[in-house]
Amino acid sequence: MGYAIAEAALQAGHDVTLISGPVNLDPPHGGRFISISTGDEMFDAIDRHLGDCDVLVMCAAVADYKPKNISPGKIKKRDANFSLELVPTRDILGSLSKQDRRFLVVGFAAETNDIEENAQKKLRDKNCDIIVANDVGRANSGMESDENEVTILFRNGEKEKISSAPKKNIARALVKIIANMCEKCLTKKM
């Protein structure tokens, strides 16, 4: 979805910096591409580039937990059970909520149940301007699919649904919605 949004934004004439973990996709031409491998690297890359953005779209599905210790080599199989201790990852979107920011924040809520309720909570808790909720529990939509179906929730309580469609179509619609919201924000400041 992030690649589709980056491509749609470039096609609409916007400058784009795409920060991405490992995927089997080619980055869209015409934008700036930053490759990262871990959630910590993503946190640092976003922090470095925040001052340059008008809109931050946070749609990467960064894991909520990571191993506490990383083995320098392969862990050999044993006959006994093995436990892996996990610790929470840094909350990239949550780290933005306390800053006096001059950019629009679009978050994503990849949910498997109570989709709108969980997305609404994330919208408030993470201080997003927009949250895009999608059901990732379905095999034909969301992650690992070219199709998606989303509900867009706005801070003012409004919502908009985009029915099942190719991600490229949803991305174009999202870019238009975001551009309109930015234009409204600029008009209010004048």
Give the pLDDT of residue 174. 95
Q: Are 112 and 119 in contact (CB under 8 A)?
A: no
Give the pLDDT of residue 135. 81
pLDDT beyond 70 at 86 = yes
Give the pLDDT of residue 143. 61
Residue 96 binned pLDDT confidence (cut-offs 50, 70, 90): confident
The whole-number average pLDDT for the span 163-172 is 91
Give the pLDDT of residue 99. 61
Q: What is the pLDDT of residues 37-80, one digit of tens each?
A: 999 999 999 999 988 899 999 988 788 899 999 899 998 998 99
The class (CATH top level) of 2-65+84-189 is alpha beta
Give the pLDDT of residue 118. 92
| Length, in residues, of the chain | 190
Q: Are 131 and 123 in contact (CB under 8 A)?
A: yes
Q: Which of 90, 86, 81, 128 is nearest to 109 (CA)?
A: 128
Residue 190 binned pLDDT confidence (cut-offs 50, 70, 90): very low
pLDDT beyond 90 at 7 = yes
- The residue ranges of every structural domain in the chain are 2-65+84-189
Q: Which of 164, 132, 122 is nearest to 147 (CA)?
A: 164
- The per-residue pLDDT of the chain, averaged, comes to 88
Structure tokens at 101: 């920011």
**CB-based burial, 77-108: b 16+ in 10 Å, e otherwise:** eeeeeeeeeeeebeebbeebeeeeeebbbbbb
C-alpha angle with apex 173: 104 to 132, nearest 5 degrees? 55
